[in-house]
Amino acid sequence: MTVRQASLTELIAAAGRHGFDRITVSPRAHARAGIPDAEIRRRLDDAGVAVGYIDGLSSPLPGTPEGIAEDDCFALAQALGAPAVNVVHFNGPSVPFAEMADVLGALAERAERHGITILLEFLPGTGIPDFQVALELVRAIGSGRAAVMLDTWHLARTGGGPAMLTGDAPSLVGGVQVSDRTAAQDAQPYVPMSGRYLPGRGELPLVDILTPMLEARPDLAVGVEVLNDELRAMPVDEAAAEAAAALRALLDRVGSAQPL
């Protein structure tokens, strides 16, 4: 989503050129690519890039609009060698915790049969509204095949921060989407798919957020997800270079040599 102007093949090539070793693939981008999965895998291998996860799956969750079918999403993950699928209750209503836990528990069992982990992304106003609920759902599922996707933008939007990353919480995070934000944005209307800053260009305590998670899981994949009009208007390589430099500078501050 950071380099939304790129086709899938352009994204793979740009990621390789700018030092990323993983990308996220959406089912829509995969469909638009219009080439066989074997060719996509070849391009990934040539670029030295892997697929970190498929983003995302919502159709099995209560009240969500029809999207990619679960079996198709798992098949795509297996075809591209992605170990995980991001699950988002996108445009879904508030759902009782027990109901959501039952649905996600069954989904995690089915994913496990495919060798896939599910990552639960929280979004305000949905049945997975914040970090705490996402953590409780992962604990309720009780499966090593479920973890939280922590998006620093949504963490800040819901009033969360480093103080929540204590106890077992850091070890229950299976993926991170990093962007930055200013305090002034808390008083502004939320506009989806826009307004995010590259790491280091806002005011979030990103180092303090990332440090406990990387201490608990040194192999944790830290991705950059910055949706803004400025990046989208850039040439693909320029946008990828900006994102890589910002994320690398952040990881240097954390004192980690984590892969991009």
- Stated length of the chain: 260
Residue 16 has pLDDT above 90, yes or no: yes
d(CA 83, CA 145): 10
CATH topology of domain 8-254: TIM Barrel (3.20.20)
Band (pLDDT 50/70/90 cuts) for residue 139 is very high
- The string of pLDDT tens digits covering residues 39-52 is 999 999 999 999 99
Q: Work out the number of other CB atoms within 10 angstroms of the CB of residue 77.
A: 24
User: Coil, strand, or helix at residue 36?
Assistant: coil
pTM of the model: 0.94
d(CA 253, CA 260): 14
Two structure tokens written together for 41: 């895998």
pLDDT for res 186: 86
Band (pLDDT 50/70/90 cuts) for residue 144 is confident
What value does the mean pLDDT take over residues 127-142?
A: 97
Look at 37-41, 188-192, 224-228, 242-246 and tell me which has the smallest mean pLDDT.
188-192
Distance (Å) of CA 171 to CA 12, 135, 150, 167, 246: 29, 10, 12, 9, 25
- The string of pLDDT tens digits covering residues 199-213 is 999 999 999 999 999
Residues 6+ apart with CB under 8 A from 163: none
